[in-house]
Amino acid sequence: MALKQRIIRWFEGAEALDRLSRPLAKVAARAGGPTPVKNSLSGTWLGHPLHPMLTDVPIGAWIAAAALDIAGSPSSDNAAKGLVGLGVLAAAPTALSGWSDWSDTYGPEQRVGVVHALGNLAAVVLQSASYLLRRRGRHRQGILLSMAGLGAMGGAAYLGGHLSFIRGVGVNHTAFETMVEDWTDVAALADLASDKPMRASAGAVPVVLVRQGDEVHALSATCVHAGGPLDEGELVDGCLRCPWHGSIFRLSDGSVVRAPATTAQPSLQVRLEAGRVLVRRAAT
Ligand code: FES
């Protein structure tokens, strides 16, 4: 196994990190409690996670500053200083959105997330110190600190990529589901108790059925956020709340009412025929 994988495995299993991460996660959960705050930080208004998009600003600004430092002339010193400062300013909202996402992780992902955050904190401290030195005219020392900051940021970014692409944090957990195209019989209407989610299968895809009066709604049973079982969720005002992190989806179309989910839950068309419930992929 490559050294970097061994290091990441070690972070994933380092239970000592839980002593730091658990209290921080609790604070994040409390701070991000109100729906507008959680929706804003998660990126629900945007339709996908906000944090990865915001990271482009400090990363881009600091890399551009480094390019000017390496290739530029004394006349570009001011521009480089401005870029370093821009990156430091942009780090605040970036960290807040990441903190919110991280608070909905557990175990190995949460431990790696803590190390990711510490690496980024080191990068911000180094770049902030670099900015102050540059303001005092000590450009060369500022460049050295910026380069060290870039190193810390690169390590932290690697761990962020590991969380998303290897551990699946922040990805749509229904992305590879293929919904049935043809009307498919999934349950007997008589088996559906009113206002009680029930799990069924539409082809290879688990779906959750909810009967409300004469109507039946069907959504994918796998929560888009992290794969929670929506058939174990709770009904709230015509919506379904995920039992894992509290995302709320409208039964009528799967749209998100409350984060951390950022994209709609796949919904299905429903037809009732001869006492049976039939579903098929909703028209797009
Ligand atoms: S799995 Fe996280 S809200 Fe559903």
48 Cβ contact partners less than 8 Å away, ≥ 6 residues apart: 262, 263
Is the bond into 52 cis (omega within 30 degrees of 0)?
Answer: no
The pLDDT assigned to 28 comes to 77
Q: 162 and 188 share a domain? A: no
Is a pLDDT exceeding 90 seen at residue 272?
yes
Q: Which domain holds residue 38?
A: 3-166
pLDDT tens-place string over residues 32-72: 678 899 999 999 999 999 999 999 999 999 999 999 999 87
Specify the pLDDT at position 1.
72
Do 137 and 35 belong to one domain?
Answer: yes
pLDDT in tens, 196-212: 999 999 999 999 999 99
Q: Is the dihedral of CA 237, 239, 240, 245 positive or negative?
A: negative
Among 132, 166, 200, which residue terminates a domain? 166
Among 140, 166, 192, the domain-final residue is 166
Q: Is residue 73 part of a domain?
A: yes
- Whether 174 is in a domain gets the answer no
Same domain, 160 and 220: no
Binned at pLDDT 50, 70 and 90, residue 29 comes out as: confident
Q: 258 near 245, Cβ under 8 Å?
A: no
Q: Say if residue 122 is in the same domain as residue 205.
A: no
Same domain, 78 and 200: no
Same domain for 25 and 151, yes or no, is: yes
What is the number of domains present in the chain? Answer: 2
Looking at the structure, tell me whether residues 199 and 134 fall in a common domain: no
**CA 186 – ligand 1 centroid, Å:** 24
Residues 102 and 137 in one domain: yes
Q: Answer yes or no: is the C-beta of 230 below 6 A from any ligand 1 atom.
A: no
Asked if residue 176 is part of any domain, the answer here is no
123 CA distance to ligand 1 middle (Å): 31
Round to whole Å and give the CA distance between 155 and 165.
15
pLDDT at residue number 284? 67
Residues 99 and 235 in one domain: no
Q: Note whether residue 172 is domain-resident.
A: no
For residue 246, the ligand 1 atom closest to its alpha carbon is 3
List pLDDT tens digits, range 223-271. 999 999 999 999 999 999 999 999 999 999 999 999 999 999 999 999 9
Q: What is the percent of the chain where pLDDT is above 90? A: 87
With a 6 Å cutoff on the Cβ, whether 244 touches ligand 1 is yes
Q: pLDDT band for position 78 (50/70/90)?
A: very high
The pLDDT of residue 280 is 97
Task: Kindly report, residue by residue over 10-28, the tens digit of the pLDDT.
Answer: 999 999 999 988 888 888 7
